[in-house]
Structure 1
Amino acid sequence: MENNKNNQSWKEKLHEIIYEADTPAGKLFDIILLIVIVASVIIVMLESIKGFGERHYNILNWSEWVITILFSFEYIARIITVKKPFRYIFSFYGIIDFLSTVPKYISFFFGGVHALAALRALRLLRVFRILKLARYLGASQNLINALKASKAKISVFLFVVIIVSIILGTIMYLVEGEENGFTNIPKSVYWCIVTLTTVGFGDIAPQTPLGQFIASLVMILGYGIIAVPTGIVSAEYTSQKNKEITGKDVHLNTQSCSNCSAGKHMDNAEFCYNCGHKLNHG
């Protein structure tokens, strides 16, 4: 009985350090983790530099192995400290943690795969926990809802843009012709999309006065087109804000439930909103 209690105690303590950033130990763990992640990404980038990577191969390789082993222990610790490990394993962060750990091991069988370790940069998203940006998750949720509500309107808008690009591309093909680089309609449509989005690679350019006039209209039209999706999403975002009930200032913290791994709990919450399990307060 005593052993079970002690076993539960160290798991809860480790869970608090790994999954939460509201305690000094948790914050220190996350800061160290971010430093290691940044170091790992830099090492992968340095390995890709021809000459430098070859000269310092041993140092870079051993450093990468040390970091990979540390990440492996961390990944295992995350699994054993939660009561429902599969919930973490198949979560967004769980998948990212796994993908950031396995490339070095896979490189034993497939060369060059270790470069995928650059995926560890995605783990820097944990900076939200350290800086307590989770307090603003309500605003980010409004933005997500606005994007979802705008999906149909934006889809119709993009469909219209594609049709306009095909029409204008075909016109430019007829006006400019093969001698000016518009060798076929698909390539002309490509030019129109590049011009319409104001990217302008410059690999194809109209030479005739009429073609240059049409190109000018396309570029002006491009500025207007860029503003349309912004207006659609902004309108929906305003609508979402109006629907939001703001009776009081609600803050969310980084606390994670040890039973179901649910996060984003309100400050001073005693129980998990998802499963009702009592939360551990450090």
Structure 2
Amino acid sequence: MPLEAGERPVLRRKGLTRFADDRPRPPLASDSERFGCPPAGWRRRLHTVIFEADTRAGLAFDIAVIVAILASIAVVMVDSVQPLAQRHGRLLAAAEWGFTALFTLEYLARLASVQRPLRYVTSFYGVIDLLALLPTYLAAVVPEAHLLIDVRVLRLLRVFRIFRLTAFLSETAMLAEALRASARKIAVFLSFVLMVVLVMGTVMHVLEGPANGFTSIPMAMYWAVTTMTTVGYGDITPKTEVGRLIASVMMLLGWGVLAVPTGIVTAEMTLARRHNSRARRCPACDTAAATDTARHCHQCGARLPAFGRRTA
């Protein structure tokens, strides 16, 4: 794809081009662009209602779905209370199957109203919609599975898109980008932690032995994990002086275990926030925005473009 005048590519890898002037990435594709919108007919009208919350019918549909999700979660919570379950068991079961049938029809309608249903099925919200249906059907085989119906609460993530809470969406995207950028650093750190757990677990198994509850290396590793995470259930405790010294060191080390990943993600979020600030430039004097929340240029006072828009 040819570059526009004034653009200077500084990195090109796997189709990604980054520019020296730190221009923002193009806005994410809408559901209609990703999954395909039928050109006409009843599928087109159904697509407008289901996937386009900016219409009156679409907003009403999404609000109705959210109310149904909340009601179905309330049914599961009430069903977990034994006195209420014994008294209203049939009513609660009928309500749950009714909600499941409703959500099944909704899921099938979503598949019918897009041109690329497989892409929707494998998308984030598509997977959540499917997971929200499976527990009820699995409960027919495994009764305990009906408690997993609370996974439907994840479907409430759509509330951010339905009501156009763009501030929440931008912060969520920033957090996701920070987690992706810090994934390798965290993986290296966790590998180090696992090595420490393995070594300390082996040492404690040798020092304490089965007589003090350290019956095997995996059991000693379990103790090491609960100690480093400062949980300390107390079901296994060292009895020797050396074992207690090692336990004290691991407890202090646990503070670092909690702090290091937090610092890594925080640093990446700071970089992402700075990038967002630099990505917007004043259309009048070409000065970078001072902060990510600035609305006007701090140099000339001109109004800054919104996130995701290119300057002229």
TM bucket (normalised to shorter chain) is: 0.7 to 0.9
**Which residue does the alignment assign to 1:184?**
216
Change (3 A) 1:190 1:99: closer
Q: Alignment partner of 2:248: what SS?
A: helix
Match of 2:306 among 247, 250, 273: 250
Q: What is the Cα deviation at residue 61 of structure 1?
A: 1.9
Instruction: Give the direction of change, closer, same or farther, for the CA distance of 1:236–1:98 in structure 2 (3 Å limit).
Output: closer
Aligned to 2:252: 220
In angstroms, what is the RMSD of aligned CA positions? Answer: 2.9
User: TM-score, normalization: structure 1?
Assistant: 0.74
Q: Is the 8 Å Cα contact of residues 154 and 229 (structure 1) preserved in structure 2?
A: yes
Of the structure 1 ranges 88-97 and 188-197, higher mean CA displacement relative to structure 2 is found in 88-97
1:198 and 2:254 are equivalent in the alignment? no
**Matched positions, count:** 246
Work out whether residues 160 and 168 of structure 2, in 8 Å CA contact, stay in contact via their aligned partners in 1: no
Q: Unpaired runs of 5+ in structure 1? A: 1-6, 253-265, 267-282
Q: SS where residue 201 of structure 1 aligns?
A: coil
In structure 2, the gaps of 5 or more residues are 1-38, 282-303
Higher helix fraction: Structure 1 or Structure 2?
Answer: 1
Normalised by the size of structure 2, how large is the TM-score?
0.68
- Which piece of structure 1 moves more, 140-149 or 10-19? 10-19
1:195 CA drift (Å): 0.5
User: Of residues 113, 121, 142 in structure 1, which corresponds to 2:174?
Assistant: 142
Given that 1:169 and 1:188 are in contact with CA atoms closer than 8 Å, whether structure 2 keeps it comes out as: yes
- Give 1:228 deviation, angstroms: 0.8
Give per-residue Cα distances to partners, 1:75-113, cap 9 Å, x unaligned: 2332333333333233222232233235445655x2525
Tell me if 1:231 matches 2:263: yes
Kindly indicate whether the alpha-carbon contact (under 8 Å) linking 2:160 and 2:169 is maintained by their aligned counterparts in 1. Answer: no
The separation in 1 between residues aligned to 2:305 and 2:226, in whole angstroms, is 45
Q: Is the 8 A contact 1:135 1:251 kept in 2?
A: no
3-state DSSP of counterpart to 1:98: helix
Q: Which residue pairs with 2:84 in the alignment?
A: 52
After superposition, the C-alpha distances for 1:15-57 in whole angstroms (9 at most, x for unaligned) are: 3332233344433322221121121122233334445323322
Range 7-16 or range 196-205, more displaced: 7-16
| DSSP-derived class of the 1:8 partner | coil
Aligned residue for 2:183? 151
Aligned-pair identity in percent equals: 45
Change (3 A) 1:27 1:251: farther
